[in-house]
Every structure is written in C-alpha cells, then in structure tokens.
Structure 1
Amino acid sequence: MTRSHTEPGRCAWAQSHPLLAAYHDDEWGVPETDARALWEKLMLDGFQAGLSWLTILKKRDAFRRAFAEFDPARVARFNTADIDRLVADSGIVRSRPKIEAVIGNARAYLDMQAAGDDFAEFVWSFVGHRVQLGDGQHVPTETEGSRALAAALKKHGFKYVGPTIVYAWMQAVGMVNDHAIDCFRRDRV
C-alpha cells in the first residue's frame, strides 16, 4: 500500500487493509485499564493463534454476540450445549479447544476476582504499572515480561496464554508501545 501525502505514517502491519488501519489508529497500543476489556482482548488474542489478526477483527462483532459481550460471569456459566452452539457458529473461529479455553478462562478470571485479585491490577503489575516503550525498530515476539505474565496466568488456570500470545496482547492493550519509530501513533500513546 502506497501512502498518499495526507495519509499518516503507520506501522507496516496496519497498511494492508482499511480495517487494520482503523484498528491501529484507534485502538492498538492505547493503554487499557478496564479489567473486563483486558480479558476480552486476551480472549480474542487466544483465538488469533495460528490465524491473522484481520480474521479476528472481521469476526469481532460475532465473537461479542456469541460470547455474551465477553461478560466473564455469563461466559463462565456456558455448558456443553453452549459449546456445541459455538462450534456451529460460522461467524466465529469454531475451534472447540479455544472455545472451551474461553469458558475456562472466564472461570479463572472470576476465581481471581473472588480471591480479591483485580485482573487489571494483576496484569499491569508485570510492567510496573507503566507503559514499556519499545525501540520502534526491533519488535520481539515474546519477552521476559510476557513469559512471566504467561506463566502467572497459567498458574491461575488460564489457557491459550503462551508468551507470544501474551506479548501480542500486551502490545494491543498498551502495556508495551511497539509502534514503529516513524508511526504517527508512537508519541500519542
């Protein structure tokens, strides 16, 4: 995609499709501190494993409908009939293991909450409650921080939260600012 004179410089990954550009310009890398929104985005990143982010963005509204607007309390009550319904839903990624993981992750989220652990506070503690600034040139697929957070999430019973998924999620929710050095969003988030 060739930029026009008026189109801002943006990260290379966001230049191939208007939906990616809009996501990049409005959401990606913006610090998110709402626990439920953080959980939703982590669940979507888990679904993305092995697929393109564009696929997930195109299906995001269907995911929200299918998973009760990603309300952990409602998702935690999903049963076998709900799993069968979701596996048959062509609007989402119909992976039974990923669907079952989201339901289990809702239960893990609620268990943390019941134990007095705020999900947002917990995950942001892994970056010292501050956005980490990448160098804008070399973007890793995982870091020591993502490995530590992935391990801690797994200890709490979460699935589909490996260090690569967790790092992509940390970028998406603004825990890490990995906008390219010449991206117009780098200094804005």
Structure 2
Amino acid sequence: MTTKIRCAWCEKDDLYRDYHDNEWGKPVYDDPSLFEFLILETFQAGLSWYTVLAKRENFRKAFDNFDLKKVSEYNESKIEELLQNEGIIRNKLKVRATVTNAQAFIKIQEEFGSFSKYIWNFVNGKPIDNKPKTLKDVPATTSISDAISKDLKKRGFKFVGSTVMYAHMQATGMVNDHVEDCFTRV
C-alpha cells in the first residue's frame, strides 16, 4: 500500500485530510459555495482554519445553510441568537459582518450577473498555478488578493483583508498552492 503524499498542513487528522483531498484548491464557480467559503474565511480571520472547519456544520445550521437571501435579511433578534450559539465562533463583529457581506454579495450579483463572474475576473477566469515546492513557498497575500480585498472593501464588505482573500482564493481554487509532491498534482 502506498501512502499518499499531501501538503503538510493537512496531516492533523481525517477532517483536515478530507478537506484537502476533496475541496481545497478545486475550482468553485457556483455562488452559494463561494458565499459559504467567503463567510467561513471571514470567521477565520485571526484564528486557524482548522477551528472554522471543525465548526463548519454548526455554521451551516446556524446560518440557514448559507442561504444568501435569508442571511442578508437577518435582524437584531437573529444576530443575538447567533451570538448565543456555542457551536460557532461568537464574535459580534464577524456575525454582523456576515449580514453586511451577504447584502454586498447580492449587489455584486446584480451588477455582474453572479459573484462568480466578478471574483473569477481577477484571475481571467482560470486558476493560477503557483507550483510551490514547499509550504514556505506559499505566500500569505499577492497583488491579486490585495486588489480583491481593496475592491470588496470599497463595496462595503467587512473582514476581507488581503490574507483572508488569498485564503479564499486557495480554498476556491482560484489559485493552486498544493506543493509540488502532493498527490493532487499528479
């Protein structure tokens, strides 16, 4: 039996390995998934991705399976309910930002036809393949994540700094940062 060689960051446990093997770095073009990843990445700000990933199912339940329209209409009562939910990250600014970001996401859909068209335009519609040799070769930000962050902030989004947006690019396959010897590259 041969052992799969993976990016070293995912070897913590099966949850991480499964995410790495089946989701991370695979191109995502549908708006519902892009919205989910965007919200999860904003909750990650200042925390580890593992913390968010371990609570992902709780986030899905708490945020109505990331139903964009429902989230965009959350009122103070729903926000307070979320802040009491021990299954998610209960950061008041991030919970409020989720509602704001859902509203801004809808405005982008209206302007561009879809969020996917908007976001993928930053990479000319196709993934960037960085081909890093090791994790040390993977950047935390790039000029593209800087540009996305700046534009999203201008459009009213919160918690979308360049590092968050680069992580979003990685998660949604806009950039392929699987290391050179990772089995996903074969």
Query: Which residue does 2:171 correspond to in 1?
Result: 172
Q: Which runs of 5+ in 2 are unaligned?
A: none
Greater mean alpha carbon deviation, residues 113-122 or residues 49-58: 113-122
Q: Aligned ranges for residues 119-134 of structure 1 at < 5 Å?
A: 119-134=115-130
Q: Aligned ranges for residues 1-189 of structure 1 at < 5 Å?
A: 6-137=2-133, 138-187=137-186
SS at 1:185 equivalent: helix
CA distance in 2, matches of 1:127, 1:178: 15
Identity among equivalent positions (%) equals 44
Contact 2:142 2:166 in 1 (8 A): yes
C-alpha RMSD over aligned residues? 1.1
CA distance in 1, matches of 2:109, 2:161: 22
CA distance in 2, matches of 1:52, 1:115: 33
Amino acid of the structure 1 residue aligned with 2:161: G
SS at 2:158 equivalent: coil
SS at 1:115 equivalent: helix
Amino acid of the structure 2 residue aligned with 1:160: F
Amino acid of the structure 1 residue aligned with 2:150: A
CA distance in 1, matches of 2:96, 2:15: 28
CA deviation digits over 1:78-117, x for unaligned, max 9? Answer: 0111111000000000000000000000000112223344
Amino acid of the structure 2 residue aligned with 1:131: P
CA distance in 2, matches of 1:127, 1:17: 32
Number of positions where the alignment pairs a residue of Structure 1 with one of Structure 2: 183
Q: Which runs of 5+ in 1 are unaligned?
A: none
Cα distance 1:183–1:106, how it changes in 2: closer, same or farther (>3 A)?
Answer: same
TM-score by length of 2: 0.95
Higher helix share: 2
Contact 1:105 1:157 in 2 (8 A): yes
CA distance in 2, matches of 1:129, 1:168: 18
Contact 1:178 1:186 in 2 (8 A): no
Contact 1:177 1:186 in 2 (8 A): no
SS at 2:183 equivalent: coil
